[in-house]
């Protein structure tokens, strides 16, 4: 990848960035975004937007080992992010990345392949486990359903062993909640069960916690219906949820086809 592309992306993106870009010491600012395997041009725009989000935790899904994805990864590393990539990420299939800044991280092994990656980050002497996940896409075929069901089962088995008192799970899970509006016939019972099984394991849907009655969507399709596919689940001990919203700027500006999920947690004992 040409060095001038990386440098252009970095320095071009920071000129107009607000001066206050550092989260408070007790804040976890999480951005989960499906970056849709960007071209080099979109990768520069993606990198600029991610840096301007002022997040210290990034969960990026739908990456492939392309020049665009490598530019995003290299650019984040150059800006002080520690980027964790799953084993096998360069093998050609989709993968997920977790990047953190100002939070020492330790990779955690997981058995579900490059679609999931886990790290432990340290804050004030305690560890918070962050798991990024890109669930298999709903292809609306029997084969697609079988693949999703098998993946969901394997991931839940892994999550059961990987649970910690302080844990965040974020990414494009490619499932929707029961009672989703509008109703979506293309999702099956095992998709809804995956969502509810996360709750049974003690994880809370951060957006639903912040907005109990709001019908919001992170991926919009005239053909398949508006869908809330991108999620952040957290254990109650992970931190105090201060805000959780979908930012549609990446989608409406055609950087990617998904909205970003932005959440802020206050760390430490509840006020």
Establish if 190 belongs to a structural domain: yes
Determine the pLDDT at residue 270: 63
Residue 136: domain span: 28-266
User: Is residue 21, in this structure, part of any structural domain at all?
Assistant: no
Predicted local distance difference test score (pLDDT) of residue 3? 41
Distance CA 80, CA 247 (A): 24
Residue 118 has pLDDT above 90, yes or no: yes
Region 221-233: mean pLDDT is 87
DSSP, collapsed to helix, strand or coil, labels residue 169 as strand
The predicted model gives 200-224 an average pLDDT of 92
Question: From CA 86, how far away is CA 118, in angstroms rounded?
Answer: 8
Stated length of the chain = 271
In a domain, 17, yes or no: no
Taking only the tens place, the pLDDT of each residue in 12-61 is: 333 444 445 577 788 999 999 999 999 999 999 999 999 999 999 999 99
Q: Which residue has the higher pLDDT, 116 or 142?
A: 116
d(CA 170, CA 61): 10
Q: Report yes or no: 156 and 226 within 8 Å, Cβ to Cβ.
A: no
The single-letter DSSP state of residue 66 is: S
pLDDT tens per residue across span 169-183? 999 999 999 998 877
The CATH number of the domain holding residue 91 is 3.60.10.10
Domains identified in the chain, total number: 1
Are 9 and 71 in contact by the 8 Å Cβ rule? The answer is yes
pLDDT at 250 over 70: yes
**Rounded Cα–Cα distance for residues 261 and 215 (Å):** 14
Can you tell me the mean pLDDT for 94-109?
95
Q: Is residue 13 part of a domain?
A: no
């Amino acid at each position: 990848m040409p060095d001038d592309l990386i440098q252009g992306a970095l320095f071009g993106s920071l000129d107009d960035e607000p001066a206050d870009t550092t989260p408070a010491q007790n804040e976890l600012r999480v951005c989960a975004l499906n970056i849709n395997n960007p071209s080099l041009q979109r990768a520069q725009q993606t990198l600029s937007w991610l840096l301007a989000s002022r997040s210290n935790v990034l969960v990026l899904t739908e990456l492939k080992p392309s020049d665009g994805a490598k530019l995003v990864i290299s650019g984040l590393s150059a800006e002080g992010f520690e980027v964790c990539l799953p084993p096998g990420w360069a093998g050609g299939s989709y993968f997920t990345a977790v990047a953190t800044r100002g939070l020492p991280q330790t990779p955690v092994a997981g058995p579900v392949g490059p679609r999931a990656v886990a790290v432990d980050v340290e804050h004030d002497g305690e560890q918070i486990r962050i798991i990024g996940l890109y669930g298999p896409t709903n292809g609306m075929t029997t084969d697609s359903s079988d693949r999703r069901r098998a993946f969901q089962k394997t991931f839940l088995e892994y999550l059961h062993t990987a649970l910690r008192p302080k844990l965040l799970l974020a990414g494009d899970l490619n499932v929707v909640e029961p009672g989703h509006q509008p109703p979506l016939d293309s999702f099956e019972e095992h998709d809804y069960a995956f969502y509810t099984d996360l709750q049974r394991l003690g994880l809370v849907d951060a957006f639903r916690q912040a907005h109990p009655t709001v019908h919001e969507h992170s991926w919009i399709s005239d053909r398949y219906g508006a869908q809330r596919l991108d999620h952040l689940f957290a254990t109650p001990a992970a931190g105090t949820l201060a805000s959780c919203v979908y930012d549609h700027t990446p989608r409406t500006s055609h950087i990617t086809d998904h909205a970003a999920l932005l959440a802020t947690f206050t760390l430490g004992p509840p006020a």
